[in-house]
Amino acid sequence: MKKLFTILCCTAMFALATTSVKAQSYKNALGGRFGSYNGVSFKTGLNKNAMLELIGNFRSSRGVNYVQLTGLYEVYNPIGGAPGLNWYYGGGASIGSVKVKGFDGDVYLGANGVLGLDYKFKGAPINLSLDWIPTLRITPDTDFYGGDIGLGVRFTF
């Protein structure tokens, strides 16, 4: 797990140092993502119409502790007549762990899709997004999760 985390961090730093964004009106964004999985979200531009999003989710409730790291490649398309508004789609992967009090924990891997809307306020460093992220869990048991709908609120820079 440490190797995967190191690889994702190095990829994000490389992307920060070598990319520019032309389809979106911001290069980087950092903030929160709120839905059934609350967490921290970071987006960075990869090329003229694509971004990398990293989401760190966490949840603790009734003796169940959950943590997940998701990396998504997102392709952005402007919506005509609506400056600052884009729709996006893409895919990625997630790795996570769940621990139930009194039982052994599980580490799992998943393949993710993403479909959403992204809006950058003109003249303000604020970005909002609303997206859907369905997941095909690969390990320890294969199953499909219909997805999490989340609202992202980020500071752009």
Indicate the domain borders of the chain: 2-156
Q: Report the run of H or E that residue 6 belongs to, with start and end.
A: helix 2-18
Please answer whether residues 53 and 72 qualify as being in contact, where contact means their C-beta atoms are separated by less than 8 angstroms. Answer: yes
Average pLDDT, the chain: 86
Lowest mean pLDDT among 12-16, 48-52, 84-88: 12-16
**Which amino acid is it at 79?**
I
* Residue 10 clears pLDDT 50, i.e. is over it: no
What is the per-residue pLDDT for 133? 95
What is the per-residue pLDDT for 17? 40
Q: Is the dihedral of CA 85, 39, 61, 64 positive or negative?
A: positive
Q: How far apart are CA 119 and CA 72, in angstroms?
A: 18
Class of the domain covering 2-156? mainly beta
